[in-house]
Amino acid sequence: MHIVSRKAAVLPWVAALAVMLLWASSFVVIRDVGVHFSAGSMALLRLFVAVVALGVGAVFYRPAWPRTATAWGWILLWGVSWFGVYTVVLNLAERHIDAGTAAMLVNIAPLLVALASGLLLGEGLPARLLVGIGVSMAGVVVITLATTTGRLTVPGVVLSVLAAVLYAGSVLLQKWRLTGGDSYAVTFVGIAGAMVACTPFSGHLAGDLSTASGASVLAVVYLGLFPTALAFNFWAYALKNIPAGVLSSSSLVVPALVVLLSWLALGEVPPWLAVLGGALCLTGAGFSIVPHIRAALRRPEPVPEPAESLTR
């Protein structure tokens, strides 16, 4: 009888926590260096750095590449949709509405993932998960009320909702079709496909590199290495072992982490309303995922068979 060890059960949650921290840090870095790079050029440089890093890693790791044209097609569709189209749509949305409102609308994605994965992937719709997501989304709304500038247009709302649908669709596609393959290869191919799709921004990147400071360039390199190349490998590993709805609900801690990291790294003291919203985000996400983490911690370690039985 095969028994999964406690360590193997807990590691996906450690990976998920690392993903949330890295993704939160990316919002802070983008806010700090966004004045030096356009949205398209930053995305292209970020993806280029990630592809180079993953390419070097592939020399040593030697991942198992997809073997069929169908598998390549699904991976490229996922990569271009999430790393490419989602990013561009979100950047366009923030030209029409402020970043806080865009983030609030995009954060309906975990709810969409929970509903779709429960109905279509057989994960079910636990009341605890839905309540936790609801509390966290209330926290996101409170953070938005504390930080919004009030800039709002119909195109901005439509684009933000479209970004949420792309986010949710990408997570569901990855869980449905891509978790059976080598996660390193899937991440590498997906990011490489998105990089190729972003090559029309090459001219903008050349211009931005000629004027950007060295510190700004290094900041975008950080985005490519850690919140992209590393975080999405961790994400793929976690998604293989955690239900999509539950894992996506954990991403609702990101707004709270962004508030905290902005305070620590940029000196942006958050208003009390944002602190309250962050507390709600953490409470809701914790309500959804803590039982799963506790179950993983309680999982019994496998007991090795006696040595003599191995010789029979």
Q: Is the pTM of this model over 0.75?
A: yes
Q: How many alpha carbons fall within 13 Å on the CB side of residue 19?
A: 21
Contact (Cβ atoms closer than 8 angstroms) between residue 20 and residue 72: no
Contact (Cβ atoms closer than 8 angstroms) between residue 4 and residue 299: yes
Task: Name the token pair of 127.
Answer: 């009341």
pLDDT tens digits along 82-120: 998 888 787 777 667 766 666 677 778 888 898 999 988
Question: Mean pLDDT for each consecutive 10-residue tract of the chain (312 residues)?
Answer: 64 93 86 82 94 96 94 96 86 70 77 89 87 88 74 78 91 92 94 96 96 94 95 94 89 82 79 84 86 74 46 38
For 37-85, the three-class secondary structure string (H helix, E strand, C coil) is CCHHHHHHHHHHHHHHHHHHHHHHHCCCCCCCHHHHHHHHHHHHHHHHH
pLDDT at residue 151, rounded to an integer: 63
pLDDT at residue 212, rounded to an integer: 94
Please identify which residue in the block is written with the tokens 């509390």: 135
Residues 81 and 78: their CA atoms lie apart, in Å, by 5
pLDDT at residue 2, rounded to an integer: 46
From residue 144, alpha-carbon distances to 12, 20, 138, 249, 271 in Å are 30, 19, 10, 18, 11
